[in-house]
Structure 1
């Protein structure tokens, strides 16, 4: 059974984007736009404090008539985080995301933040793994 460690091994280490809890929502949105990501992790030093996603922006800023340049990220970030470890299976993470209606899971190892997995990462991995299996089966059939 494939684990989250398989996905993390294929992701560049510098693709973990964090921002301080004291930053503005505008700064978080700018980082998300520059890096073409839909979520950013909020940290206080090495401690994971929360996550801010495009969904948070839509629900907590845009629809409430707030201004992203004035609101501090810690006021609107999601703090009830589900986290995983690299040992979690791909299937288990897909089930968590489906059941909880979330798109991102921070990955911790020994209580240290080491990555983040998106639903897109999981889907991409499953598709690639299935293609690999199909290729092997075709090779076996054709001798």
Structure 2
């Protein structure tokens, strides 16, 4: 049976982030903000990762894990510790045209779960491993649906 040629973006590995990013909301803190402020934002927004911005430029990132390990376990107080003292400065980023597969590759290679997404040098979002997993589940549901329809068409056409 002939299958129509698929466009590259229909193949999950080649799907660009532009099609994956659902929300334009990017939550950020400044490097001078306290860790308590960062944790409060994460709690209010139900997220575990913030981008650290200075004049719209990414200077770092901070996660719940960073707060726990570099503040709580180190015996520091969140109210007296600046985000700049615990943030990760060497930020791995991707472009809006980068693909699903490239994001997975980078996350795996660097042992990270979030990637800031840039468009023309400007922060437009953050993609998480959870976002990519959601995309996999939706993609597989579509493929299964297509296969079931194709099977039913074959069964009904032979009767």
TM range (shorter): over 0.9
Question: How high is the TM-score relative to the length of structure 1?
Answer: 0.94
The answer for the alignment partner of 1:50 in structure 2 is 60
**CA–CA separation in structure 2 for the residues paired with 1:140 and 1:67:** 60
The separation in 1 between residues aligned to 2:78 and 2:36, in whole angstroms, is 5
Match of 1:109 among 102, 114, 119: 119
- 5+ residue gaps in structure 2? 1-13, 154-159
The structure with the larger Rg is 2
CA distance in 2, matches of 1:129, 1:6: 12
The match for 2:93 among 83, 98, 104 is: 83
Shift of 1:88: 1.3
Aligned equivalents of 2:139, 2:95: Cα separation in 1: 21
Query: Which one of the candidate residues 97, 103, 109 is aligned to 1:99?
Result: 109
After the TM superposition, which segments of 4 or more aligned residues of structure 1 sit over 2 Å from their partners?
none
Q: Any gaps of 5 or more consecutive residues in structure 1? A: none
Instruction: Give the Cα separation in 2 of the matches to 1:33 and 1:137.
Output: 42
What TM-score, normalized to structure 2? 0.85
> Counterpart of 1:142 in 2: which secondary structure?
helix
Q: What's the Cα RMSD here?
A: 1.0
Pick from 118, 132, 140 the counterpart of residue 142 of structure 2: 132
How many residues in Structure 1 have an aligned counterpart in Structure 2? Answer: 140
For residues 112 and 142 of structure 1, the distance between their equivalents in structure 2, rounded to whole angstroms, comes to 48
Q: From 30, 48, 62, give the equivalent of 1:38.
A: 48
